[in-house]
Amino acid sequence: MFLIVSGLVHAQPIKIGELNSYKAQPSFLEHYRKGWQLALEEVNVAGGLLGRPVEVISRDDQGNPGDAVRVAEDLVVRERVDLLFGTFLSHVGLAVADFAKQRKVLFLASEPLTDKITWQNGNRYTFRLAPSTYMQVAMLVREAAKLRRKRWAIVYPNYEYGQSASETFKRLLRAEQPDVQFVVEQSPALGRIDAGPTVQAISDRKPDAIFNVLFGPDLAKFVREGQTRALFNGRSVVSILSGWPEYLEPLREDAPEGWIVTAYPWYSIETADHKKFVSAYTRRWNDHPRLGSVIGYASIKSIAAAIKRAGSTETEKLVGAFAELPVDTPLGPVIYRRIDHQSTMGTYVGTTSVSGGLGVVTNHSYIDGKAVMPPDADVRRWRPSD
């Protein structure tokens, strides 16, 4: 899809391939798609790129690595796109990143959070926009350590993202608090939580605090069952992703109170760039943005900035352009680091509450991604040379 602009009608479009798990993860990706569509319209209204309109050819990857690779192959070979962006689930993102490496095509991983995309499995052709698992966990560990809770429970979805978040949390919290104990872990399959037994298993071990990595319908089931069984009474909860409106708003009056979360409190971010984005998004879609909206929007803005900088859609020139590329996003300026191809986009950390029958996040502050990255020496040790 692209918007025809006077003067660009006869120009050959720049074709960008996009793939994502729209059917499998609609709560996030419905808004993500609206975000990139808005940015695409803005790019084309402003004259396109390199004197050409921009077209995004979008496909569903079915939330499956094998399907994602087949979709990526179709976009590159049959549709002849100039580059790829998208993916949500970590194992899917890793599969497409490997495809990008093998086929030497640029891939902007918009949302998959696995650290492996930019570190252990990092490659020359893959860059990542969203703050990684390590980055978001590091933000939360700062707050978790202040609680001085000794006995922790962990609950996470049993796939790459959840496993990585759990291991990173344990490692970083032990470094801050050597006497910490992890007394129970629950790892239900993604989308298949049996909330009653999960909650009971945690309750039986009598932890002082809980680190939660669940999201989407799994999170909703866990929260409601946990409230029914008084799991959260008198216990601290630290939770990654739970402050995203995609997952907090559907809980309505059942939203948890007092959880420390990574968040997107769109309703109380007062920066000029964010207000401009909210106004444009609301005008276009008659709805407020979610975090997915920001990620989709910033993905197209990042690609546009790279193409302008490169003056070309040729892959190697785009790879060079992305290194240390500055991009203005609704959350503020970010840079794509040369060392690991990770953007410095941060996120908000705050505390959940209920206001007017809706879950909100209060007492929040923005944590810049640069502030929670490991030392460069560690990154060089983890990441293979290109």
Q: Give tens-digit pLDDT for 303-315.
A: 999 999 999 999 9
Does residue 127 sit within a domain?
Answer: yes
- Give tens-digit pLDDT for 147-191: 999 999 999 999 999 999 999 999 999 999 999 999 999 999 999
State pTM to two decimals. 0.94
Does residue 308 sit within a domain?
Answer: yes
Domain range enclosing 340: 14-132+270-345
Question: How many whole angstroms separate alpha carbon 43 and alpha carbon 45?
Answer: 6
State the pLDDT at residue 385: 80
State whether the Cα torsion 161-166-169-174 is positive or negative: negative
Q: pLDDT band for 55, please (50, 70, 90 cuts).
A: very high
Considering the domain architecture, whether residues 119 and 143 belong to the same structural domain is answered as no
CATH number at residue 63: 3.40.50.2300
Per-residue tokens: 265: 């409190």
Distance of alpha carbon 252 from its chain centroid, rounded?
Answer: 23
Question: How many whole angstroms separate alpha carbon 87 and alpha carbon 206?
Answer: 38
Q: pLDDT band for 1, please (50, 70, 90 cuts).
A: very low
Q: Is the pLDDT of residue 258 over 50?
A: yes
Percent of the chain with pLDDT over 90: 96
Q: pLDDT band for 216, please (50, 70, 90 cuts).
A: very high
Q: pLDDT band for 4, please (50, 70, 90 cuts).
A: very low
Considering the domain architecture, whether residues 162 and 264 belong to the same structural domain is answered as yes
Considering the domain architecture, whether residues 168 and 250 belong to the same structural domain is answered as yes
To the nearest whole number, what is the mean pLDDT of the chain? 96
Phi and psi at 378, nearest 5°, equal -65, -45
Q: Is the pLDDT of residue 2 over 70?
A: no
